[in-house]
Chains A and B, each alone.
Chain A
Amino acid sequence: MSKCKVELAYQILKELHGEVVAEIARHLMKFGPRHIKLISEVTQLRVNQIKKGICILIQHNFVKFDRNKKGVTEYAINTDAVSLQLRYPRYIYCAKTLYGDAAELLVEELLQNGQSLMSIASERVTQRLNEALEATGNPKITSSLVRDKFGLLVKTHFLRRCQTVLTDDENRVISSEEPKETESLFILPPLEAGSKRKRNPDGSGPPSKRSKMEEMDIPPDDGVYWMINVERFHQYFRDQLIINCVNSKIDKQAGEIIRNMLRLSEIKTEPHSTVSATMTITEIFHSLPKELGMTKHIVEQYLSILTEDSVDVISKVCDSSGGLYVINIFKVLKSLCQAHIESFVQERFGSKCLRIFRVLILKKHLEQKQIEEYAMIPTKEAKELLYNMFAEHFITLTEISKTVDHAPSRTYYVFRVNIDQVARIILEKCYKAAGNAIIRRQMEVAKHKRVLDKQERVDAIIASLDQAGADEAQKEEIKETITPPEKEQLERCRTTVNMLEQSEIQTDETIFIIETYLYYSLLNTPIK
């Protein structure tokens, strides 16, 4: 596991869940599955603290546990899941654009709690929505509406059930596992059943909440916990990437066609398959919304353009029934990932280096002399650029010796680019950059802590004055306690934090593309 990724995960956890949780997580990330005693020995934390910390991590689906051969429960952390927290804003935004405000709040609620019951989550969201609606003077909505939204999100697989728990003979929870049938992850519980089951004292409910829950009525869907289905979100992001790629490569209309093709094949395509399910041209044509006003002839033309394009977005697999088409998901991802890598090379080393880099990608293996000729860069300059990239491991070198003694004069030195390796290097840099942004942001906040606190206090006082019905003059007076230089400081702090937060999200976009590409690429490499 990469050092930078662990560091990034540590920073994220430290910010959201505090130092103790982060410390435990870092320990688990570094050393792999361990039991509580061992963690306590090394980290010098009290067992009690560790238990609580691990509870939090389990609640957020970061940690899995299992009983080992000796009968001791070991905890293992999923670093990927931890670092995904960087992407939470995107999940929430995605839910909002697809299904509206209620869905946004539902996703937010589930992300905040890690896992939750459908009844509780919908209840809270209804409450929050109503508060907001009341404030703006709109009529309230019922909780059934929110529940419907919840059902919709489950139906479209954006939400899923948590793993089922395994218990031993004494009814103690020892592990959890994915159910065998994936479909069972998306079955809604009967909410109206209302049978009051007796709660199992050692139930799967998270301990931090149990005490609170016992005081309340037992909800009808007790025991069925829900979480965000990250993979479904990623699939959506991936499709969005493909559409954007076509949009910028060809035009908006071609993008619309691809969007419809993706929608058509969505259910039929195997998850993580490199190509989509096949579609006939008639299917594609009929699925297109009428507003676009595309004739069949134009659709055919676009399909042929897409097939001939250098990115190879779709291919025609068969001529039967007017042509069968598939979307080359992996190829598009590869082009995209390569585009990001090229963008990196361009910014980091300059456009001449990019030329050399691309020459190597296109021509595979080249000697130095050939590179100079193809790229049309003078020898001296080309050497410098090439070795710069070589020093940063963006280019690999193979020695092919004519004789057994490997004498340099009788050896060919062949340069090449290994895309997967470069992708990993950049990924590593992304983790580092994201981690740095978080550290820097925290520092900026800490630096201006005094002013920020003051601002908060002032805001609180004004709010309370508002409730008490004080007049404007009084409020003005309070407001003026923040001096102009302080205001300026606040403003600067705000823009800084915004910039850093934005770059965290932007870096995460790069991370997403590279990670997705590498994942697919790994699936595609035959095992030796």
Chain B
Amino acid sequence: MAANVEIKQEPVEGVDLETRIINLCQQNPSGINEETIKDDMPQFDVKQRVTAINRLLSTGRLEIFKSGSKLIYRIKDGQSTNSQLKGGDNQEKLVYQIIKEAGNKGIWIRDIRYKSNLLMTQLNKILKNLESKKLIKAVKSVAASKKKVYMLYNLEPDRSVTGGAWYSDQDFESEFVEVLNQQCFKYLQQKAITAAEGKSDPVAQKNGSYASSSEIWTFISKLGISKVQLAVEDIETILDTLVYDGKVEESFLEAQSGDRKRLYRSIKPLIETTGLMRMPCGSCPVVDQCREGGVISPLTCVYMKDWLS
């Protein structure tokens, strides 16, 4: 019975020891030595420690260093890729390192070349190699359509690279933005009208015409015009364009949790078209060259003639 228990406990403890060593390493990124392990978990004897460390070393999760006469164990980062990089040479490792540093913003091939001091042909070969191993990937940036940036294969590209929800294949979808812009405005307008009809109290009228960004977001999501899932922030950028158009006003509401809620409402324009623009001279492209007796003259003006007839 007792022996049975011991057999069962042995592997459990072995695994337990391994994870504890890993944890310990994570706590001390500069590395640990035999002493630290011994102090931390005195219940395990040397034999158990050795088997555990050997297993970790063989699976590539730990690195072993020598400092003075002591051995130091340190956690190995990117364990899985390193094993894949195994076949590559130093140059490949270097390029990989550079790309990794760039994070999810990616890095341009020319910048890699400057940093690595490699020849273009060599670099191209390495990049192709890495790509075929699925360690890195090339992403087209929206900022410059011909510019490719490289990043690690498993990373999600940054918004500045893909452009967020408003881009599909590096193209800005201005129609999509325009449609959303109009729909949001319609919603707010409708809200203002119902508020004006329903209430006589001026403050209630004003408050009733406000809609929060999340309300508008639900409305837009229900409409189903968008194929991609939009976030509330995306809708807020659309609403901001309405503010810039001068059709909508923005206000903030201090929520109880401390974060600000953004409210929007449609507003009426302050004036009708300005007086100047009601005659052709206002929008005339050549008004600067217009003078009596000149080639362009108010007496012979074609715009005037069209307008007056």
Identify the A interface with B (CB < 8 A).
245, 248-251, 253-254, 298, 301-302, 304-305, 310-311, 335-336, 339-340, 342-344, 347-348, 351, 354-355, 358-359, 362, 374-379, 381, 426, 429-430, 432-433, 435-437, 439-440, 443-444, 496, 499-500, 503, 505-510
Contacts and interface: CB of A to CB of B under 8 A. Distances in A.
Interface of B: 166, 172, 174, 177, 201-203, 206, 237-238, 240-241, 243-246, 249, 267-279, 281-283, 287, 290, 292, 298-299, 301, 304, 307-308
Contacts of A500: 279, 308
Contact of B301 (A245, A335, A374, A440): A440
Nearest to A427: B276
B138 to A, nearest CB: 22
A362 B244 contact: yes
A201 to B, nearest CB: 44
Nearest to A304: B203
B80 to A, nearest CB: 37
A58 to B, nearest CB: 28
11 contacts: A248-B268, A344-B282, A376-B166, A432-B281, A439-B299, A440-B299, A440-B301, A499-B307, A503-B278, A507-B275, A510-B275
Contacts of B279: 433, 437, 500, 503, 506-507
Contacts of B290: 432, 436
Q: Which of B166, B206, B246 has the most CB of A within 10 A?
A: B246
B270 A358 contact: no
A505 B279 CA distance: 11
A505 B124 CA distance: 71
Contact of B206 (A305, A335, A351): A305
Contacts of B272: 343
Nearest to B174: A378
A436 B269 CA distance: 29
Given A305-B203, A436-B298, A440-B304, A248 B270 contact: yes
B271 A248 contact: yes
A310 B269 contact: no
Given A374-B240, A376-B177, A343 B166 contact: no
A506 B277 CA distance: 9
Q: Which of A245, A376, A507 has the most CB of B within 10 A?
A: A376
A343 B279 CA distance: 13
Given A254-B202, A301-B202, A376-B241, A344 B270 contact: no
A528 to B, nearest CB: 31
Contacts of B245: 351, 354-355, 358
Contacts of A443: 298-299
A381 B174 contact: yes
Q: Which of A251, A311, A507, A509 has the most CB of B within 10 A?
A: A507
Q: Which of B206, B240, B274, B282 has the most CB of A within 10 A?
A: B274
B244 A355 contact: yes
Nearest to B171: A378
Given A440-B299, A440-B304, A343 B202 contact: no
Nearest to A347: B277
Given A505-B275, A510-B275, 10 more contacts: A250-B202, A347-B283, A374-B244, A376-B177, A426-B276, A430-B275, A439-B298, A500-B279, A500-B308, A506-B275
Contacts of B166: 376
A407 to B, nearest CB: 19
A416 to B, nearest CB: 15
Contact of B287 (A311, A429, A503): A429
Nearest to A299: B202
Closest 4 CB pairs of A and B: A506-B275, A433-B281, A436-B298, A503-B279
Given A248-B269, A378-B172, A436-B281, A343 B274 contact: yes
Contacts of A301: 201-203
A249 B177 CA distance: 28
Contacts of A379: 172
A250 B202 CA distance: 9
B245 to A, nearest CB: 5
Contacts of B274: 339-340, 343-344, 347, 509-510
A216 to B, nearest CB: 43
A311 B270 contact: yes
Nearest to A380: B172
Contacts of A358: 244-246
Contacts of B249: 310
B299 A432 contact: no
A350 to B, nearest CB: 10
Nearest to B298: A436
Q: Which of B166, B202, B240, B278 has the most CB of A within 10 A?
A: B202
Contacts of B202: 250-251, 253-254, 298, 301-302, 305
Nearest to B278: A506
Contact of A347 (B203, B267, B273): B273
A391 to B, nearest CB: 11
Contacts of B177: 376
Contact of A355 (B201, B241, B276): B241
B246 A354 contact: yes
A111 B301 CA distance: 33
A509 B277 CA distance: 11
Contacts of B304: 436, 440
Given A254-B202, A506-B275, A348 B282 contact: yes
A297 to B, nearest CB: 9
A508 B244 CA distance: 28
Given A376-B238, A432-B290, A499-B308, A339 B270 contact: yes
Contacts of B281: 429, 432-433, 436-437
B273 to A, nearest CB: 6
A251 B275 CA distance: 23
A301 B172 CA distance: 45
A430 B270 contact: no
A250 B265 CA distance: 13
